[in-house]
Amino acid sequence: MKRFGWAVLAGAVLFGGPALAQDDEAARAARWSDLAKEIFGGKPLQSGDAKIALEAPERAFDAALVPVSISVQNPADVKSIYLVIDGNPAPVAAHVTFGPAGDPKSLKLRVRVDQYTNMHAVEETKDGALYETHRFVKASGGCSAPSGSYAAAALADIGQMKLRVLDGPQAVNAREVQLLIRHPNFNGMQRDPQTQGFTPARFLKSVDISLNGENLLHLDSDISLAADPAITFSVPAQGKGKLVVTARDSDNAVFEHSFDLGEGRS
Amino acid sequence: MQSLNAPFPFRFFIASALACTLLAGFARAEVPEPQGFFMGPLHDDVPATLSGARVVHPQELASLLEQGNAVLIDAASFPRKPENLPPEAIWKPAPHENIPGSIWIPGIGEGDIDKNIEAYFRERLSALTGSAFDHPLVFYCHPHCRASWNAAKRAIGYGYSNVIWFPEGAEGWRDAGHSLAAAEPEMPSRPSH
């Protein structure tokens, strides 16, 4: 009896782990294949290991605020970037299309993660090819997590924006700029701590950014962006002038701000 | 290309590692058991205990399940589709996975439970236990999920005397090296109003 117990234990240790990992892997691959078909209409995706990189914490402390960073090897070839969170009920977290004033070099977002999931970053090139890379993230509950600071009264400053220039000493060819938009991005799955009822969804649907009247980027998103969306993107190092941001939300509210993008640090 | 990106994320990770250490300390500071049920958001810190129930962790749950007769109940909720999602947005909840052999009844952990769901819940408990109030009942959902705590407390209120709560939830079960299986929810046939 005792010996049998040990044999079972040894079996579990030797075979249980890898077999389970394979099951999980197979389920995740099936989910991605389903999603990819729906998002990209059956167009083939190629491995993007040499093209696009995706950074995210392996285990996120706050599932409602998971930082994600995407960078591409050949910015000049890139038309758009998709961020897909496979396990979220609305998996396409963001689709960013770059305009002539844009630089797809790097893109950072903060997202909600509902369950342990693969995340995919997909690069769409100007000639229509698709390259994907992915990463497994352990986080759960980000979609129903309460939006702490958002009582109805706190909506007073909805749509306010801030722009931070993050350039460091390496900023020779481009600099990074972080746009912060005050918006609860309610996803309809959160409860109001006071009334206990579900807070109706209200989320950013699109953000357009232009530099001196020229399109820099267009972002489509819905309920997977974290509250107070933060979008970090690159602008050419010599890029200065008027940066105009127009954000639209699901209540058809339009928020517009313009910033004076000076030279170097601001 | 990488060098440009390096400093910011690096700084961020240091900051977040620090935040994790600090906040992990806070999380361990007891969440007291509420008088009644947890109302409002269900994804939040949970108490270490549930009066009237036994709290088990993965190892104890594994040996409990080996004995074979415990009823496993998953109290996880079902994702709600926002009505105003743009028509072109893809809504496709991932298949729900839980501990094999579980009964999944969404809604039984709500602070203010729907009457139809409550009636269904009582009926199912009675059927699953053969009306034996001392039959072992295990409740779980996800980590940091109060739905299973509420549901277990409800079962105690109905008179069940062998209620077990597994706070680590489905993810904790998987992290302990066990497998999960795709599951379909059970719900009352008549929709609630």
Can you give the residue ranges of every domain in chain A?
1-42, 43-261
How do residues A75-91 score in pLDDT, each as one tens digit? 999 999 999 999 999 99
Instruction: Name the residue of chain A whose CA is nearest to B22's CA.
Output: A61
Residue range A35-58: average pLDDT?
95
Residue B15 has pLDDT above 70, yes or no: no
At residue B43 the predicted structure's pLDDT band, cuts being 50, 70 and 90, is confident
- Domain count of chain B? 2
**Low-confidence winner among A187-201, A223-237, B32-46, B140-154 (lowest mean pLDDT):** A187-201
Q: Is residue B54 part of a domain?
A: yes
Looking at beta carbons, which residues of chain B come within 8 Å of A85? none
User: What is the distance between the alpha carbons of residues A189 and B141, in angstroms, rounded to a whole number?
Assistant: 17
Looking at beta carbons, which residues of chain A come within 8 Å of B44? 145-146
Q: State what percent of residues in chain A have pLDDT above 90.
A: 61
Phi then psi for residue A143, to 5 deg, are -85, -30
Give the domain range for residue B99: 34-183
Mean pLDDT of chain A: 85
Q: Encoding tokens for residue B179? A: 């497998």
Kindly state whether residues B90 and B24 are assigned to the same domain.
no
CB-nearest partner of B1 from A71, A91, A140: A71
Residue B20 has pLDDT above 90, yes or no: no
Contact A77, A103 (CB under 8 A): no
Q: Is residue B191 part of a domain?
A: no
Q: Is residue B192 part of a domain?
A: no
Question: How many residues comprise chain B?
Answer: 193
Looking at beta carbons, which residues of chain A come within 8 Å of B97? 27
At residue A146 the predicted structure's pLDDT band, cuts being 50, 70 and 90, is low
Q: Residue A147: what pLDDT?
A: 58
Q: Residue B129: what pLDDT?
A: 97
Q: Residue A266: what pLDDT?
A: 40
Selection from A157, A168, A250, A247 nearest residue A210 by Cα: A247
Question: Which residue has better confidence, B27 or A121?
Answer: A121
Residue B29 has pLDDT above 80, yes or no: no
The backbone region for A185, taken as left when phi is positive above 0, alpha when psi lies in -120 to 50, beta otherwise, is left
Across chain A, how many H-helices and E-strands are there? 2, 15
Kindly state whether residues B176 and B140 are assigned to the same domain.
yes
3-class SS of residue A212? coil
Residue B134 has pLDDT above 90, yes or no: yes
Kindly state whether residues B170 and B136 are assigned to the same domain.
yes
Taking an 8 Å cut-off on Cβ atoms, the answer to whether B19 and A61 are in contact is yes
At residue B2 the predicted structure's pLDDT band, cuts being 50, 70 and 90, is very low
Q: Residue B18: what pLDDT?
A: 38
Phi then psi for residue B167, to 5 deg, are -70, -20
Looking at beta carbons, which residues of chain B come within 8 Å of A23? 179
User: What is the distance between the alpha carbons of residues A56 and A75, in angstroms, rounded to a whole number?
Assistant: 20
Residue range B180-193: average pLDDT?
77
**CB proximity under 8 Å: A 31-70 to B:** 31, 34-35, 38-39, 55, 57, 61, 67, 69
The residues pairing with A52 across neighbouring beta strands, listed in sequence order, are A72
Contact A113, A75 (CB under 8 A): no
Selection from B60, B75, B94 nearest residue B154 by Cα: B75
Kindly state whether residues B49 and B22 are assigned to the same domain.
no
Contact B56, B165 (CB under 8 A): yes
Selection from B7, B188, B79, B112 nearest residue A190 by Cα: B79
Taking an 8 Å cut-off on Cβ atoms, the answer to whether B82 and A57 are in contact is no
- How close does chain B come to A223, measured CA to CA in Å? 8
Residue range A215-243: average pLDDT?
91
Q: What pTM did the predictor assign?
A: 0.78
Kindly state whether residues B90 and B144 are assigned to the same domain.
yes
Taking an 8 Å cut-off on Cβ atoms, the answer to whether B179 and A23 are in contact is yes
Q: Is residue B188 part of a domain?
A: no
B56 alpha carbon, distance to own chain's centre: 14
Tell me which amino acid residue B78 is: F
Distance of CA A110 to CAs A263, B89, B126, B129, B135, Å? 27, 19, 45, 45, 45
Contact A48, A133 (CB under 8 A): yes
Q: Is residue B190 part of a domain?
A: no
Question: Which residue has better confidence, A204 or A4?
Answer: A204
At residue B12 the predicted structure's pLDDT band, cuts being 50, 70 and 90, is very low
Q: Which fold has domain A43-261?
A: Immunoglobulin-like (2.60.40)
Q: Residue B21: what pLDDT?
A: 37
Report for B12-21, B117-126, B170-179: range of highest mean pLDDT: B117-126
Q: Residue A168: what pLDDT?
A: 61
In sign, the C-alpha dihedral spanning A5, A11, A14, A15 is negative
